Every structure is written in C-alpha cells, then in structure tokens.
Amino acid sequence: MKRILLQLVPVFTLVIVSSLPAYGFGGGSMSTNEQEKPILSEEIKELTIPVRQEGSMEVIQIPMFSEAYAQTPVAIVNEEPITMKEFMVEVATLHNAMGDSETPASRSFTKLLDRLITIKLVKQEALNIGFDQTPSVQKQVEEFALKTLIKQLLARQIAGLQPDEETVETLYRQMALEVKTVTYRFHQQHDAEALLSDLRAGGDFIELADKMVAGDKAQGGGESEYQKLNDLLPNVARAVFDMELGEVSEVFKGTNDFLVFRLEERRVYEDPEVRLAAQQMALQQKADKVQREYLGELIDKYATFNDDAMALVDFEKIAAENPDASRTEVLDRIKNEQRSLVTITNGKETLLITVSDVAGALKAEMYHGVDSKINASQMNNQKVGFLQNKLTAVTGKMEAEAQKIHLSAEYLEKIEKFEERVLFDTFLAKAVVPGLVVKEEDVRRYYYNHLEDYASPLMLKMKSLAFTSKESAQDALKKLQAGSDFKWVSANMTGLADAEDPKVLNLGDHLLAVTALPDDLQHELNGARQGDMYVYSGPDNLFYTLVVDTAFPPEAQTYEEVRQEIGKIVYGKVINEALEEWVVKLKEAYETEIFLVQNDH
C-alpha cells in the first residue's frame, strides 16, 4: 500500500503543488488563485507620494516602492495601519490593469485609499459581530492556511531549480517540427477510402491520386511548402508526429472535403518562443518530480503503515469474496472499525487514519447517497486518493511547522489578507445584501440610458488608399469627390504607400465593425453612411483616403434580450450603494486617520 501511495502522490498535488513561474524569472514561487505579484515599469518605480508624518503636520515625499518605507502608514483604521506596502500593491495592480495608456500618476489616489479603508472598516465590524468565529469562515481560513503552508514548503524544494538541457532539447525537437507533404483533397469520403484501398493492393500513391484528380474526384498534388505542426489541424498534427517518411495518412475530414497525404520531409526549425516553452515544460516536469519525491520522503519520515489493517480495505479481495455485495453493505461492515491504517507522528503529536475514516470518506463519495454494486477498482482508487490527501496534508503541515514556515512573515501576511477577504465577503452576504431588491423600473431606466451599450456596432465596408503624405491623401479625396473612378485614382495617384508594408492598416474591401478600429478613426466614422469619404491621419505617418461602400447602422437589442444581464449590473450598483451607507456609519464607529496627502495627480 505504501508503494502505491508513493506512486500516486499527484492526487493531492493536483491542487496544491507549486507551479513554476515563466522561465527566466527565477524559481520557487507558485501559481495560485492569489493575486500575482505586479510587474512594475521604470516609470511607476520612480513614483513618489506626499505623506504626513504620524503625530505631526510634517509632509514628506515618499518613494512609493521603496522597501525602506514599506511599513509607513498611509492611514490608520481603529488602530490598524494601512501600510505603504498595501497601498503600493493597489497602485501597481491598477497600473497593470490600465496598461501603458495611462499611469496612476495621472489619476487621484483617493479611490484606491478609500477602497482599502472600506475593507479595514468592514473587517473591524465583522470581527466585532463575530463572523470570524462562524464555522464557514473558520473552515475557509483553515483550508487556505493548510494549502498555503504546504505550497510554501514545496516552493522551497524547487527554489533555484534549472531545467536539464538534454530534456529541453528533446522537448524542443518534438515541439518545433515542420513538414512537407503531398496532399490530395477529395470531394467524397468514399473516393478517398477507395484510394487507400487501391494503395494497400499495391498501387502507387501519386499515380492513383493523380487519376482521381483527372477524374475530377480530387484536387491537389505536388509537394507543399514546409508547414509547422502547430498550423495543421490538431488531429492531422498528431498523426504526422508519429508517421514515418513516405508513409501515407488515413482519411481526415477537412472543412468541406476529405484529406489524404504522404509525408515527404520533416525537420526542426528554430523559434525562440518554442524553445522558451520547451524550457518551461522541462522545468515544470523536473519540479513535479522533485516535489513528488519530497512528498514521498515526508511520508517515510512521519508515517507508519499497518499492513494487517490495510487488508480490511482491500476492496479487490472483498469483491472476490462477495461479488454481489453492494457498496453500502461493504462500507457498513467496516464503518465502526477503529483499527489504525496509518500512524503519523512527529514525536509531539500523533494522528491516526483508521479503517472507519476510509469508510466514511468513501460513503461521502456516493452520488446523492445512491447505492450500487461494489466496484472494487473505483473504491480502491478513492481509498488511495483519500489516504494520499490526508498523508500529504498532515505530514506536510508537520514538516512546514518544523521549518517554522507558519511563523514566517510571508505566510502570516497571506493568511491575514485571505481572512480579510473572507470577512468582507461574509459581511456583504450577511449584513449588506439581505433585504436589497432591484426594481424593474430601475433596470428599464438603465437600459434606456445605455442603449449604445446594447446595440450591434456600426458595420462598414470601405475602399481604402494609403499614402505617405497627407497632401496626397487629400488630393485623392478631391478627385473622388469630383467624380473620378476609385480604380482610376488608385492607379494614377503618386505617394501611395507600399501595399506590402506591414504598418499599413487593412481598412478596405471587407466588412469591419467600427468598434474594432483605432479610437480616433471610430470618432471620425461615427454615423458614416454609404458614399461618405474621409481622410484619416493614421499611425506611423500614414494617411488614408476612405470611401464608404456599404454601411449597416447599429441595431439595438430588445429590453427582454438584455434584461437579465442589466439586472445583475443594477443589483451590483444597489449593493455598492448599500455598502457606502454602511461605510459612513462605520467611520463614525471606528476612528480613521489618513496620512496620505490626497492631491489629485
């Protein structure tokens, strides 16, 4: 049983094992549901804000992202500080969400600080109400604390881990493949199958296929250009990967036809992005192996198995002896058996996993309590999963505490922040939301005030000429307005941009949603109709003469179509308004002092 458990370590680690960050950014951190660490631009790193010193009126400019000021309070709520570090995370997260278009320096910090103050106020009230003592909150926090503890333990095992170059190269050569094929496309599947039948009878692939082409049953032939496996249909790519040179494929269903091909050549191409992906995959594989082995070592260190008791939960043996027994009958026989299957101890505390524990866990797995005939394989797998989860949780916790991870600032901060979020959600659910209603007239009012948000966009089909100077574009516009034919203008104008230039926007000869165009062009084309003409000053010093061929005006969705969607939006607004009313009351109950000098930037 112990050997089986060690082989199946990933059962629990599907949920809890660390994942490595993108290769090149260091090892040892994890991918979790927690907020990722913000990526900071050089501009944001240099940001400073004015903060009043606690206990005085002196205001100093503080570098927001300086570790030296991380614990400086920007506000205090009921004696609990909101530190510069917490505020920094909010600013950086906002910066990431905005992208490069604007920076927090262009906005007021007031809302960000108000958000943090609201969270602290709600937390204080939730604690005073006693929400932190409710079973639901305690369970959530305990489960998160356990997973965080073991994640941080496992993260230590992969810190600084590097991929094996040989593995990277092997993976890369599997991932960066391109092939040449001779491909034929058939109108009917039975003709493609007939080709393969004749081929198996000893015919030549090219000769047989070319006869099909001559008979208008197929198209294609001739050697293709190299194609990357990633660009092929997934099922075709999988087949090509395993094929030998000169081998003919099975029949594949295309979009409107049926494909048969012969593999002619295969080679590895160079692509830095694919190599990076291979490095990441190799690193993750190595990390998984290291962590599985480590978890196995912890089981060796802390757990002792009772083979005699294990015989009581050998469901293969039980099924052989009682083939007609039901799952419930089998579990009822052992549900009160207190013999220990596994003893886990660190010398200070001891935990037993009993036969009864396994029976209870498997009983809980029954779908809505529906009974069935014993399925030995399924029950053994569920037993192993339960034992592995329990062993990993208990031995991992013991080892993490032995290494004092539960006392680390990083761990304690994560738990505090998680509990804060849970208390906030609980307060909303139990104190704010009850009794709130959404009125039908409010939903309708929102709909009519936001009709443009619930309409299909203006769709345009245009002719487009791209020029390297605005004067040339305007000259073309004048000629078109005077009645010149578009084709004549496009053939006789000077100053046209190179049509192959990748910087030239593809604005002509296909239907476009105006909302998909650059913002400034959207503004110019608002309300455009058939026959309208424009000169657009585009990016990269290119200028466009545009003629609207066809225009499809926006069409609004009916109220009934969007009522449910809008109802959720209005409900959210009702909740926010109710929360704001609560915050006003809470500020009266809990002293709040702000040190951030709230200038608008």
pLDDT digits (tens, 9 = 90+) for 47-95: 888 999 888 888 999 888 888 999 999 999 999 999 999 998 888 777 6
Query: How far lies 33's CA from each of 18, 147, 193, in Å?
Result: 12, 11, 50
- pTM (2 decimals)? 0.74
pLDDT digits (tens, 9 = 90+) for 253-275: 988 899 999 999 999 999 999 99
pLDDT digits (tens, 9 = 90+) for 276-307: 999 999 999 999 999 999 999 999 999 999 99
Tell me the mean pLDDT in the region 516-539: 93
pLDDT digits (tens, 9 = 90+) for 395-416: 999 999 999 999 999 999 999 9
In the predicted structure, residue 46 carries a pLDDT above the cut 90: no
- The secondary structure of residue 368, as a DSSP letter, is G
Same fold, 177-269 and 456-552: yes
- The Cα–Cα gap between 241 and 249 comes to 11
With contact defined as beta carbons under 8 Å apart, do 488 and 533 qualify? no
pLDDT digits (tens, 9 = 90+) for 228-247: 998 888 899 999 999 999 99
With contact defined as beta carbons under 8 Å apart, do 380 and 316 qualify? yes
**Please, how many CA atoms are within 13 Å of residue 323, restricted to the half-sphere of its CB?**
1
- The secondary structure of residue 108, as a DSSP letter, is B
In the predicted structure, residue 533 carries a pLDDT above the cut 80: yes
pLDDT digits (tens, 9 = 90+) for 466-509: 999 999 999 999 999 999 999 999 999 999 999 888 899 999 98
Segments making up each domain of the chain, as ranges? 177-269, 301-402, 456-552
Tell me the mean pLDDT in the region 41-48: 73
Query: How far lies 308's CA from each of 103, 305, 329, 538, in Å?
Result: 66, 9, 21, 79
Looking at the domain that runs over 456-552, which CATH code has it been given?
Answer: 3.10.50.40
In the predicted structure, residue 445 carries a pLDDT above the cut 70: yes
The pLDDT value recorded for residue 105 is 46
In the predicted structure, residue 320 carries a pLDDT above the cut 70: yes
pLDDT digits (tens, 9 = 90+) for 584-593: 999 999 999 9
What class has domain 177-269?
Answer: alpha beta
With CA atoms as reference, report the closest residue to 394 among 150, 135, 153, 138: 150
- The secondary structure of residue 498, as a DSSP letter, is P
With CA atoms as reference, report the closest residue to 283 among 159, 377, 197: 159
pLDDT digits (tens, 9 = 90+) for 514-525: 999 999 999 999
With contact defined as beta carbons under 8 Å apart, do 341 and 353 qualify? yes
Q: Using a pLDDT cut of 70, give the percent of the chain over it.
A: 89
The pLDDT value recorded for residue 456 is 87
Q: In terms of pLDDT, which residue wins out, 158 or 26?
A: 158
In the predicted structure, residue 167 carries a pLDDT above the cut 70: yes
Lowest pLDDT segment from 70-84, 199-213, 333-347, 361-375 = 361-375
Dump the DSSP string for 402-448: HTTGGGSHHHHHHHHHHHHHHHHHHHIIIIISTT----HHHHHHHHH
Rounded to the nearest integer, the mean pLDDT of the chain is: 89
